[in-house]
Structure 1
Amino acid sequence: MGFFLETLLGGLMAGMLYSLVALGFVLIFKASGVFNFAQGAMVLFGALAMARFAEWIPGWTGVENKVVVNVAAFVVAGAIMFVVAWLVEALVLRHLVNQGEATLLMATLGIAYFLEGAGQTLFGSNIYSIDIGMPKDPVIAFDKVFEGGILINKEDLIAALIAAALVLLLSVFFQKTSTGRALRAVADDHQAAQSIGIPLSRIWVIVWCVAGVVALVAGMIWGSKLGVQFSLATVALRALPVLILGGLTSVPGAIIGGLIIGVGEKLSEVYIGPMVGGGIEIWFAYVLALGFLLIRPQGLFGEKIIDRV
């Protein structure tokens, strides 16, 4: 029982990190109605900015305190993500208002390649590390309840708590604020939202800024765990099954979908993997998502679209 709970807890913590990446996709889709292929590049760009400024700031200022340096690097990297968001709206999205979904999709693909190239030019292409002080050593918990206790990775636990706090904050933002309601209106119909006085350009800047901060936090956490390298951009692919399960338009769906995928991967790796030769955690989530598409294509919390003809 203890081993099962340990595996389950590990899956839940991994699922929260998947949810954090999936949130970026949901935010952009809710505002523009298009799937943002640039989300993985944004995660990479934010992680690169955070890692490099954490290296440069001590040399510029003489400050050696790790907490101060990390906070300063995060603020500078966040400001850069805000500038990127403003440039995306001013140079790309503003000129594509009311264009087809395919046009917007290709635009985000172009943004992804640009951010990857710009990141390599500005910050370099080596493998960098992000040390935000998260403990690496595991801890044994509930040793008096279960024989041998439950092994908990403290780094994963802290990362999951950070992701959960951000997810909760964004959920409140979308449900309880006028800006969040305006974002939902824009996602439903650009022209109708403009006709009632919602400034489309301002909404897009806000949502790209929020998505940029989410990407920065995701890049910071994943970079701390895996190192900052250009393969980090592919972490967004791990969020695709989450989006299929939860629905592209739902923040709660991103949370539930991430938890399902995280738990499913861990349990399948431990209990099914030995029977099929291993490697199941690589493809299990995609097979699960494919099967789910056949039953409920819009996802658990996605909106069913009905067109009258």
Structure 2
Amino acid sequence: MGFFLETLFGGLMVGMLYSLIAIGFVLIYKASGVFNFAQGAMVLFAALAMARFSEWIPKWLGFESQILANLLAFFAAMAVMIAVAWLIERLVLSKLVNQEGITLLMATLGIAYFLDGLGQSIFGNDIYKIDVGMPKDPLMVLENVFQGGLLLSQEDLIAALVAAALVVVLALFFQKTSTGRALRAVADDHQAAQSIGIPLNRIWVIVWSVAGFAALVAGIIWGSKLGVQFSLSLVALKALPVVILGGLTSIPGAIVGGLLIGVGEKLSEIYLGPMLGGGIEIWFAYVLALVFLLVRPQGLFGEKIIDRV
């Protein structure tokens, strides 16, 4: 029982990180109606900026405090992501208002390749480490309940709590603020939103900036665990099945979908892996997403689209 719970908690922690990345997909989709294939590249680009700025800033300013370096690097990386969001809106999205969804989709693919190349040109292509001072030692809990207790990773636990807090903040921002309501109005109908005075350009800059912020936090967390390398964008793509499972238009769906996939990956690898030869964790999420596309394409919490002819 103890081992099962350790696996379960491990899956929940990983799932919360998936949810954090998935929310970036959902925000962009709700604001523009397009599936943003550049979100994985944004996670990588933000993580590269954070890693390199944390190295460069102490050299530029002549101090040795790692805490101060990380803090300044975070704000510098956030400024970079806001600038990226503004440039995306000015140079790409503003030219494609009211275009077909496939046009916007292809635009995000182009943005993804551009960010990959730009990140490699500016920050290099080595493997970088982000050290934010999270404890690495395991944590023993519930020793009085289970024999031997439960062994949890403090780093994973803190990362999951940070991701959960940010997910809640973003959900409240989208549901409770006037800007969030404007985002939903733009998502429903661009032309109608413009006709009542909602500035479409500003809204798109805001939503891409928020998605960039989520990408930065996700990049820091994943980068501290795995190191910042170009395969990180592939890890971020694990959020694709999450939004398919939860629903493209649902922030709660992104949360639930991430948790289900995180837990499903871990449990299937442990209990089904020996029978199927292992490696289930790699493809489990995509097979589950395929099943949902066949039986419930709108996801668990997504809106079913009805076209009237």
Same fold, TM-score > 0.5, yes or no: yes
TM-score (norm 1): 0.98
Mapped to 1, the partners of 2:96 and 2:288 lie a distance apart of 35
1:288 corresponds to which letter in structure 2?
L
User: Which residue of structure 2 lines up, in the alignment, with residue 199 of structure 1?
Assistant: 199
Alignment of 1:174-185 (within 5 A): 174-185=174-185
User: Which residue of structure 2 lines up, in the alignment, with residue 113 of structure 1?
Assistant: 113
TM-score (norm 2): 0.98
Mapped to 1, the partners of 2:300 and 2:196 lie a distance apart of 31
User: Which residue of structure 2 lines up, in the alignment, with residue 72 of structure 1?
Assistant: 72
Mapped to 1, the partners of 2:276 and 2:55 lie a distance apart of 44
User: Which residue of structure 2 lines up, in the alignment, with residue 155 of structure 1?
Assistant: 155
Q: Deviations over 1:48-78 (max 9, x none)?
A: 0000000011111122111111010000000
Deviation at 1:306, TM superposition (A): 0.5
User: Which residue of structure 2 lines up, in the alignment, with residue 189 of structure 1?
Assistant: 189
Which aligned runs of 4 or more in structure 1 are off by greater than 2 angstroms? none
2:146 corresponds to which letter in structure 1?
F
Mapped to 1, the partners of 2:151 and 2:35 lie a distance apart of 38
2:149 corresponds to which letter in structure 1?
G
Mapped to 2, the partners of 1:274 and 1:45 lie a distance apart of 37
Mapped to 1, the partners of 2:208 and 2:294 lie a distance apart of 32
Mapped to 1, the partners of 2:279 and 2:121 lie a distance apart of 35
Mapped to 2, the partners of 1:75 and 1:200 lie a distance apart of 26
Residue 231 of structure 2 aligns to a residue in which SS? helix
User: Which residue of structure 2 lines up, in the alignment, with residue 304 of structure 1?
Assistant: 304
Q: Does residue 92 of structure 1 match 2:89? A: no
Deviation at 1:295, TM superposition (A): 2.1
Deviation at 1:294, TM superposition (A): 2.2
Residue 140 of structure 1 aligns to a residue in which SS? strand
2:85 corresponds to which letter in structure 1?
A
RMSD of the TM alignment (CA)? 0.8
Q: Does residue 234 of structure 1 match 2:243? A: no
Mapped to 1, the partners of 2:188 and 2:213 lie a distance apart of 24
Alignment of 1:211-222 (within 5 A): 211-222=211-222
2:66 corresponds to which letter in structure 1?
K
Please, which runs of 5 or more residues in structure 1 have no aligned partner? none
Deviation at 1:242, TM superposition (A): 0.5
User: Which residue of structure 2 lines up, in the alignment, with residue 164 of structure 1?
Assistant: 164
Alignment of 1:277-292 (within 5 A): 277-292=277-292
Mapped to 1, the partners of 2:256 and 2:180 lie a distance apart of 20
Please, which runs of 5 or more residues in structure 2 have no aligned partner? none
1:39 corresponds to which letter in structure 2?
Q
User: Which residue of structure 1 lines up, in the alignment, with residue 173 of structure 2?
Assistant: 173
Mapped to 2, the partners of 1:278 and 1:157 lie a distance apart of 26
Alignment of 1:11-50 (within 5 A): 11-50=11-50
Residue 230 of structure 1 aligns to a residue in which SS? coil
Deviation at 1:296, TM superposition (A): 1.2
Residue 127 of structure 2 aligns to a residue in which SS? coil
Deviation at 1:46, TM superposition (A): 0.3
1:291 corresponds to which letter in structure 2?
V
Mapped to 2, the partners of 1:123 and 1:282 lie a distance apart of 28
Mapped to 1, the partners of 2:110 and 2:240 lie a distance apart of 19
Deviation at 1:4, TM superposition (A): 1.1
Q: Does residue 82 of structure 1 match 2:82? A: yes
1:44 corresponds to which letter in structure 2?
L
Give percent identity, aligned residues only.
77
Q: Deviations over 1:84-139 (max 9, x none)?
A: 00000011111110011011111111111111111111111111110001111211
Number of positions where the alignment pairs a residue of Structure 1 with one of Structure 2: 309
Alignment of 1:117-156 (within 5 A): 117-156=117-156
Mapped to 2, the partners of 1:236 and 1:128 lie a distance apart of 17
Deviation at 1:236, TM superposition (A): 2.4
Mapped to 1, the partners of 2:247 and 2:274 lie a distance apart of 32
Q: Does residue 56 of structure 1 match 2:56? A: yes
Mapped to 1, the partners of 2:307 and 2:175 lie a distance apart of 26
Residue 151 of structure 1 aligns to a residue in which SS? strand
Mapped to 2, the partners of 1:97 and 1:292 lie a distance apart of 31
Deviation at 1:201, TM superposition (A): 0.3
Mapped to 2, the partners of 1:2 and 1:126 lie a distance apart of 39
Deviation at 1:251, TM superposition (A): 0.7
Residue 116 of structure 2 aligns to a residue in which SS? helix
Mapped to 2, the partners of 1:36 and 1:235 lie a distance apart of 15
Mapped to 2, the partners of 1:284 and 1:80 lie a distance apart of 35
